[in-house]
Amino acid sequence: MGLLSDPNRRRALISLLTRLNAPICVVCYMAGVAWFMGLAFEPFTLRTYMSENAMGSTMVEERFPAGERALATGREFAAHKKKAGGMPVDWLVKTMQSHGLEVFTQRFSRTLPFPDENKERYMVKGTNVYGILRAPRASRTEALVLSAPCTPGDNNNQAVGLLLGLAQYFRSQVFWAKDIIFLVNEHDLIGMQAWLEGYHHTNTTGMDWSPLQGRGGSIQAALSLELSSDVITSLDLVLEGLNGQLPNLDLVNLFYAFCQKIGVLCTTQGKLQRNDWDSVSGYSHAVQTMMLMVMKQASGRSWGDHGLFLRYHIEAATIKGINSFRQYKTDITTIGRLMEGMYRKLNNLLERLHQSYFFYLMPSLSHFVSIGYYMPAFGLLAVILLLRALDLWVQLTAPPPRTEDGVVDPEQMSSPGVLSVLTPLVISHLTGVALYTLPIRFQEMAVEHFPVSETEAVVLTAIAVYTAGLALPHNTNRLLSGGGTEQGWKVLKLVAVLYLAVLLGCTALINFSLGFILAITLVPVAAFVTPHVPKFLSAFVMIVLSPACTLLFSVFFFQELQEMPISFLDGWMLYLSVISQGILDHCLYGSLVYPLIALLVYPCWLIFWNILFWK
Amino acid sequence: MKILTLFSLFATYSSGNSINIEENVGQFFSSGHTNNWAVLVCTSRFWFNYRHVANTLSVYRSVKRLGIPDSHIVLMLADDMACNHRNPKPATVFSHKNMELNVYGDDVEVDYRGYEVTVENFLRVLTGRLPPSTPRSKRLLSDDRSNILIYLTGHGGNGFLKFQDSEEISNVELADAFEQMWQKRRYNELLFIIDTCQGASMYERFYSPNLMALASSQVGEDSLSHQPDLAIGVHLMDRYTFYLLEFLEDIHPASKSNMNDLFKVCPKSQCVSTPGHRTDLFLRDPGSVLITDFFGSVRKIEITMETINLTDPIQQVELSPVNEELQIEKYSYADQLPVSEIIHQRVHTFVLNLDTEQKVIGNIQQQMSLCRFHVEPTFTNEHLFLLIPPFERVLGIQNTPSVLGCIPL
């Protein structure tokens, strides 16, 4: 007979499962964490390689000559920017036209739901300027984008200067098979969002923009340039986009190949690659780089202007020039040559980049871990939840113990009412909805009553709703008719564990880092909480492992990883601003982290909190 | 019996007499071909396969320079590199870096272009099974006296060649196509050159006679590309064809280089892969085969002051309608001799008409036309080899006792 249909064997298997459940869970958890840490170990990673045949091994001799002129243009741009107090639209239009591009502008405006304290803006009005270099002989079906942001102050002037210099140089070549769009966007991500929405005729975030007069066909790839100094020591590649989406690995391979060819120092996450992978410090360096990427990806923010392109299936990355205290400096002509080389390679593309991986982690710029290698780490954590669910199922379907006189205890036999299980679910989710909607909606009322600014009002309302939810179990139990039964909490926990498993699974598929971080903190909670564990200790542990505290610890951890540790007070202020940024990201660009946490993860955690205080 | 001895006496006498003319005649027919064709195919598209188009165009250029006219060349290019949007030098295809040699020129005639280069079209060109509407420039109008050069390049593997990223031709298909060509008498001799990865696998399955094959690499080896051009940004040529082109640039229509020199082109030190060749199906010794037999179209003309006796023109037997209706001949396949017999027989140029006991030699033209006549093997001689042309029924001379033979040496 089969393993599961033979009653004897099945009973043996089930007894094994129930006996060894806790130890297996612990082992799986350790194994999952160990697997994840092992991902950064160099022998377990693969070297990056170019997968796309069209961007093959041959390279062109780059001949971009006009670095100095680009710097001069950048200085002119800075002067006009200062004079105009924002984007010097007329000067940009005139310059681009003199280079022979087809120039168009786009106006946009947006009122943020509450003021953004980091960037000090509330009612945003701006203009994007873009010039299209038409391919000399090709039909206008495909395009590439090169963008540089127009930021206030002294930043990114050289980027715009280089952009204009490249535009002039590219215009004199005949081998372009795709249109190249040179975009200067104002108010970084907001302007980029307006431009992309206008280009693709979508309107997902409720922004107000004027339609685009000129278009270039479907965009195959995009690069965003951030350069704030005349010379640089290294180039940093920023990959993480909105909702943790990453560009195709071939774009990274392309960048790395050109860095090696031209001889520029290239980094990812701002960390230089090390060769001593077998030493402890080398390994920890790789782990730090990978953890930085995981943190950035989990936040769901777009860490460069390129992040918004990824949603439209356009492979994009941001290249940042970094000027640190190194001796060997690279001048702007070399950067121009690197960009020229990359664009010539992208010019050879026949179809969108699709040959290489879309899901990967990078412990360094030349090594990567693909989804097939990192998913088992999450799988091991998810197995814990399934084992727990099986255990509960077995307990629920086991025949009740008979009392001495053979009469079965009626109270234990009664199956829990649907209401007793449904009520905590509904109330938890309602709290989640409250956490999602109340902060923004009631900010005016909060400002009236308390001496805080709007941003602080929003954040503090969120924290208040979150904390109020902790008082729920007592209220829920009052609503229940009578007390909960032993069966009741088991059914509720079974439902909650499966719910968490599905939720974390789906999250990990889309944004592995977010799913994994949530799994690390929530799976122990889900596995071990019962009404019978010591209340105060477990309450404390649960709060420490709740999403809000995870976020707090992540903020401090992130600062540590970037080698800029901060004090507790500063960390707390940073934490508040992170929450406000998360809410803003959701309202402005459609980031899904805030709704996920508020509407799904937090209610799930509340259900476990309910179980803990089950009476 | 008496006739036999008489005729053998005659043979020896006349052979001794006009040995000079016979030698000349013999030399003229040493290769046995009268016209040359070339089928040059590039099977890959996309900009990064620039080198395959450059390969094919450089062979085209050599072949044209050595005398084969465009009407006798079927050029198939799967993609247009010269006018590709990514070409920094439009309307050119270079084979040497620093733009030394433009193989595109201004008189290229491409017969099959772009998506027309498919396995089906290629096989139809070879076998001649084209729809009646196909123009002449797209047909391979070869006959049994044609030497054909077939050059293939692209991406290949063990036993196949990839056409256009969507289909493949296998070595078995190719061998069968050549057999069809042999049976339809579409070639006299055929030289097959292939420059792809694992190219030797493509000629492994040949089984028709008179085929010689060269490949740029053995099974399990990759054919490598030669040099990238830093301005254009692609590899310009494959190594084997690069050195082949260099070799061919030294050949002129009167050169006497033979196939053994061609086999030496691109040794392993230059090519990295090991070029291979196959000559076991070929009748003649490769050392006696001139390069220009395949790559050029050389007409030999010899002026002689001697008079040569011509025979009476052959009386054409008219088809008389029997019972007021035309007798429709039943078509049947020509008799075939087994390959081994064909390969191992030694032959003389010997023409004899038993009826008239005359000897007919020396008239080149007539000999050529005689070659087309039916040969009924009423008389077998180990020295006579009987070749059956497709024109046997035209003249209705099936049942004559005369024996005519024309034998290529």
Say what the ipTM of the complex is. Answer: 0.80
* SS3 of chain B: helix, strand, coil, percent, to 5: 30, 15, 55
CB contact under 8 Å between A59 and B86, yes or no, is no
Joined tokens for residue B313 = 């023109």
Chain B CA closest to residue A55:
B48
Chain B CA closest to residue A52:
B48
A147 DSSP β-pair partners? A183, A224
**A424 is a domain residue:** no
Question: CB–CB of A458/A114 below 8 Å?
Answer: yes
Q: Which of B44, B45, B47 to mutate to test the interface with A (most CBs of A within 10 A)?
A: B47
A354 & A435 share domain: no
pLDDT digits over A407-421, tens only? 545 544 456 677 778
B48: which chain A residues are within 8 Å (Cβ-Cβ)? 53-54, 56, 58, 348
pLDDT, one tens digit for every residue, chain B (409 residues): 566 666 556 555 555 445 566 555 555 556 678 889 999 999 998 898 999 999 999 999 999 999 899 999 999 999 999 999 999 889 999 988 777 888 888 889 999 999 999 999 999 999 999 999 999 999 999 998 899 999 999 999 999 999 998 999 999 999 999 999 999 999 999 999 999 988 899 999 999 999 999 999 999 888 888 888 888 888 888 999 999 998 998 998 888 888 999 999 888 888 888 999 999 998 888 888 889 889 988 776 777 888 877 667 666 666 555 555 555 667 776 665 555 444 444 333 333 333 333 333 333 334 444 444 334 444 333 333 333 333 333 333 343 333 344 433 2
A31 & A76 share domain: no
Provide the chain B residues 201-260 that lie in CB contact (below 8 A) with chain A: 228, 230-235
B87: which chain A residues are within 8 Å (Cβ-Cβ)? 175
Angle (nearest 5°) at CA A326 between A325 and A328: 140
The closest alpha carbon to A222, from A163, A269, A262, A270, belongs to: A163
Structure confidence at residue B350 (pLDDT):
35
Chain A CA closest to residue B48:
A54
B63–chain A nearest CA distance, Å:
30
A318 & A172 share domain: yes
**A255 is a domain residue:** yes
Residue that the structure tokens 């053979």 belong to: A406
pLDDT band for A535, please (50, 70, 90 cuts): confident
CB contact under 8 Å between B90 and A177, yes or no, is no
A344: which chain B residues are within 8 Å (Cβ-Cβ)? 233
**A572 is a domain residue:** yes
A133–chain B nearest CA distance, Å:
14
CB within 8 Å of A208: residues ≥ 6 apart: A108, A109, A110
A384 & A331 share domain: no
Q: Which of A60, A134, A355 to mutate to test the interface with B (most CBs of B within 10 A)?
A: A60
CA dihedral defined by A191, A196, A198, A199, rounded to 10 degrees?
Answer: 140
pLDDT digits over A468-497, tens only? 888 876 666 666 655 567 788 888 899 999
pLDDT digits over A244-297, tens only? 999 999 999 999 999 999 999 999 998 888 888 788 888 999 999 999 999 999
Q: Tell me which of A313, A343, A365 is where a domain ends.
A: A365
Structure confidence at residue A423 (pLDDT):
83
A490 & A544 share domain: yes
CB contact under 8 Å between A176 and B231, yes or no, is no
> How large is the angle between the packed helices A547-561 and A568-589, nearest 10 degrees?
110
A33 & A101 share domain: no
B224–chain A nearest CA distance, Å:
13
**A416 is a domain residue:** no
A73 & A137 share domain: yes
Structure confidence at residue B27 (pLDDT):
56
Of A53, A61, A173, the CB nearest to B230: A61
CB contact under 8 Å between B231 and A59, yes or no, is no
CA distance A414 to B84: 79
Q: Tell me which of A349, A365, A381 is where a domain ends.
A: A365
**A81 is a domain residue:** yes
The closest alpha carbon to B341, from B382, B375, B373, belongs to: B382
Question: CB–CB of A472/A610 below 8 Å?
Answer: yes
A311–chain B nearest CA distance, Å:
29
Joined tokens for residue A371 = 């989804």
Sheet holding B73-77: strands in order across? B112-113, B73-77, B35-42, B146-153, B189-195, B211-215, B276-278
Query: In chain A, how many domains are there?
Result: 2
Residue that the structure tokens 């009412």 belong to: A417
Chain A CA closest to residue B235:
A58
A131–chain B nearest CA distance, Å:
21
A131 DSSP β-pair partners? A103, A182
A227 & A340 share domain: yes
A30 & A82 share domain: no
Q: Which residue has the higher pLDDT, B402 or A147?
A: A147
B234: which chain A residues are within 8 Å (Cβ-Cβ)? 58
**A55 is a domain residue:** no
pLDDT band for A601, please (50, 70, 90 cuts): very high
A475 & A341 share domain: no
CB contact under 8 Å between B86 and A60, yes or no, is no
Domain that holds residue A487: 10-39+373-399+429-613
Q: Which of B80, B84, B85 to mutate to test the interface with A (most CBs of A within 10 A)?
A: B85
Question: CB–CB of A211/A298 below 8 Å?
Answer: no
Question: CB–CB of B213/B150 below 8 Å?
Answer: no
pLDDT digits over A54-110, tens only? 887 667 888 999 999 999 999 999 999 999 988 999 999 999 999 999 999 999 999
CB contact under 8 Å between A175 and B86, yes or no, is yes
Of B48, B85, B230, the CB nearest to A135: B85
Of B83, B86, B235, the CB nearest to A58: B235
pLDDT digits over A149-206, tens only? 999 888 899 999 999 999 999 999 999 999 999 999 999 899 999 999 999 999 888 8
Joined tokens for residue A184 = 């200067």
CA distance A220 to A237: 19
Provide the chain B residues 90-109 that lie in CB contact (below 8 A) with chain A: 90
Question: Cβ–Cβ contacts within 10 Å for residue A451, how many?
Answer: 6
Phi-psi region of A550 (alpha: psi -120 to 50; beta: other; left: phi over 0): alpha
CA distance B26 to A143: 67
Of A53, A54, A138, the CB nearest to B85: A138
CA distance A164 to A74: 9
Q: Is A153 helix (H, G, I), strand (E, B) or coil?
A: coil
Residue A335 sits in a domain whose CATH number is 3.40.630.10
CA dihedral defined by A358, A362, A368, A369, rounded to 10 degrees?
Answer: -70
A329 & A447 share domain: no
Q: Tell me which of A365, A386, A407 is where a domain ends.
A: A365
**A408 is a domain residue:** no
CB contact under 8 Å between B234 and A58, yes or no, is yes
Q: Which of A57, A64, A175, A344 to mutate to test the interface with B (most CBs of B within 10 A)?
A: A175
A173: which chain B residues are within 8 Å (Cβ-Cβ)? 88
pLDDT digits over A195-247, tens only? 999 999 998 888 899 999 999 899 999 999 999 999 999 999 999 999 999 99
CA distance B176 to B392: 25
**A413 is a domain residue:** no
CB contact under 8 Å between B88 and A135, yes or no, is no
CB contact under 8 Å between A174 and B233, yes or no, is no
Mean pLDDT throughout A121-138? 92
Chain B CA closest to residue A346:
B86
**Positions of B marked active-site:** 155, 197
Chain B CA closest to residue A59:
B233
Chain B CA closest to residue A56:
B48
Joined tokens for residue A405 = 């006189």
Of A135, A173, A348, the CB nearest to B48: A348
**Which range is least confidently modeled, A4-18, A177-191, A326-340, A398-412?**
A398-412
Of B48, B86, B87, the CB nearest to A56: B48
B228–chain A nearest CA distance, Å:
7
State CA A1 to chain mean position distance.
Answer: 49
C-alpha R_g of chain B: 24
A258 & A322 share domain: yes
Q: Residue A288 is which amino acid?
A: Q
CA distance A572 to A552: 8
Structure confidence at residue B31 (pLDDT):
64
